[in-house]
Amino acid sequence: MDAVVDQNQGILSPPGDTLMEHIDFLGMSQAELAECMGRPKEKINDIVKGREPISIATAVQLELVLGIPAGFWINRERVYRQALYKRHLQEVYRGHEAWLRLFPVQIMQDRGWMPKASTVEAQVEDLLKFFGVASPAAWKRKYLEAERAAGGRISLALTSNPESLSVWLRQGERQTLDQPIDPFDKNGFRRLVSTFQKRCDTTPCEVAQLQSTCAKQGVALVLTPNLPDAPITAATRWFLQRPLIQLSESFQNSAHFRLVFAQHSAHLLSLGKKNFFSEGLDGILPNADNREEALTSDTDLP
């Protein structure tokens, strides 16, 4: 049996099924196979039943006895164990539904930030991939625990909706991943900001051109649409060893945009790599809800 999973019944097929089929075809018993391999017959039965994994040594012995390459057995075992763990993860993900419901999943899907999966299990997996974390507990450490949150720069624990804020911040980081960014040139960026302020006093601001110019000075400039319950205007920090200025799309006019960009550029030039500067968080007050209940049962994946 080559298939690991029976698609109709969802039954996982261990490598022992393949082994049993082959020795049956040869007319060999488990006891005879055990004798040829120099292994206790109980161990062979454990392998057949999937209770004992096929080690590299066992795979080599099977190649010597049966003529089937060791790599076949090693890969068969790997695929089976991976399928077993994925099934286990589905159960774990179902237990994270309360955590999932704290996030604006529908909006994220509509904007293309997450795939349009419908099941709880798939949505939890997609959300973890979005944040680049392995568990809700890891998300909590990154965004809610002050000493570790956002790389040691900020904690969102005292905001009314840290989930939506974390989504907005993370999306800004994701926007930089495919951008070609040169090494940071602090003096070059300072000159750029000065030139930008003078030019925009008399001509309209071309955001796309500004983004390209910033990238040449080693600064990632991204515009991220706001989320309804996370009215943050801007955030500046270092991400993956390069500076990031993240702005929303909720500016009143070009003058407001120029002001915020100038402020965050100044902070970028004066603050260290572990500092975080944001605009618009002051009005987002703490709010008691069921967040703690959703997080207390979350642990790192085994």
How many alpha carbons fall within 13 Å on the CB side of residue 231? 7
Judged against a pLDDT cut of 70, whether residue 155 lies above it is answered with yes
DSSP state, 242? E
pLDDT of residue 273: 78
Radius of gyration of the chain (CA): 27
In a domain, 85, yes or no: yes
Judged against a pLDDT cut of 90, whether residue 36 lies above it is answered with yes
Judged against a pLDDT cut of 90, whether residue 272 lies above it is answered with no
Cβ–Cβ contacts within 10 Å for residue 196, how many?
Answer: 19
* Spatial separation of the C-alpha atoms in residues 57 and 73, rounded to whole Å: 11
Judged against a pLDDT cut of 70, whether residue 291 lies above it is answered with no
Residue 288's pLDDT band (cuts 50, 70, 90): very low
Are residues 145 and 182 located together in one domain of the fold?
yes
Tell me how many domains the chain contains: 2
Are residues 59 and 123 located together in one domain of the fold?
no
pLDDT of residue 6: 41
**Which range in 139-143, 275-279, 294-298 is most confidently predicted, on average pLDDT?**
139-143
Distance between alpha carbon 126 and the CA centroid of its chain, in Å?
A: 8
Span of 116-120, 165-169, 229-233, 296-300 with lowest mean pLDDT = 296-300
Are residues 268 and 220 located together in one domain of the fold?
yes
Residue 196's pLDDT band (cuts 50, 70, 90): confident
Average pLDDT over residues 112-137: 96
Instruction: Return mean pLDDT, the chain.
Output: 85
The proportion of the chain whose per-residue pLDDT surpasses 90, expressed as a percent, equals: 58
Are residues 138 and 274 located together in one domain of the fold?
yes
Q: Is the dihedral of CA 129, 131, 136, 142 positive or negative?
A: positive
Instruction: Look at residue 231 and give its three-state secondary structure.
Output: coil
H-type alpha helices, 50-154:
56-66, 70-94, 97-100, 105-110, 120-131, 136-143, 149-152
Residue 193's pLDDT band (cuts 50, 70, 90): confident
Cβ–Cβ contacts within 10 Å for residue 36, how many?
Answer: 14
Residue 198, classified by CB atoms within 10 Å of its CB into exposed (0-12), middle (13-18) or buried (19+), is exposed
In a domain, 8, yes or no: no
Range of the domain at 241: 106-279
Q: Does residue 12 contact residue 4 with C-beta atoms inside 8 Å? A: yes
In a domain, 234, yes or no: yes
Are residues 116 and 254 located together in one domain of the fold?
yes
pLDDT, tens digit, 9 for 90 and up, residues 40-73: 999 999 999 999 999 999 999 999 999 999 999 9
Distance between alpha carbon 224 and the CA centroid of its chain, in Å?
A: 18
pTM across the whole model? 0.81
Q: Which residues contact 46 (CB under 8 A, 6 or more apart)?
A: 52
Are residues 116 and 226 located together in one domain of the fold?
yes
Are residues 147 and 77 located together in one domain of the fold?
no
H-type alpha helices, the chain:
15-26, 30-37, 41-49, 56-66, 70-94, 97-100, 105-110, 120-131, 136-143, 149-152, 162-176, 186-200, 207-216, 254-270, 291-296
In a domain, 44, yes or no: yes
Are residues 172 and 149 located together in one domain of the fold?
yes
In the sheet with 277-279, reading across from the earlier edge strand, the strands are 220-223, 242-247, 234-239, 277-279
pLDDT, tens digit, 9 for 90 and up, residues 93-102: 999 999 999 9
Query: Of residues 7 and 151, which shows the higher confidence score?
Result: 151
pLDDT of residue 293: 55
Judged against a pLDDT cut of 80, whether residue 202 lies above it is answered with no
Are residues 215 and 246 located together in one domain of the fold?
yes
Point out the domain boundary residue: 64, 91, 118: 91
In a domain, 302, yes or no: no
Are residues 163 and 241 located together in one domain of the fold?
yes
DSSP state, 183? P
Residue 1's pLDDT band (cuts 50, 70, 90): very low
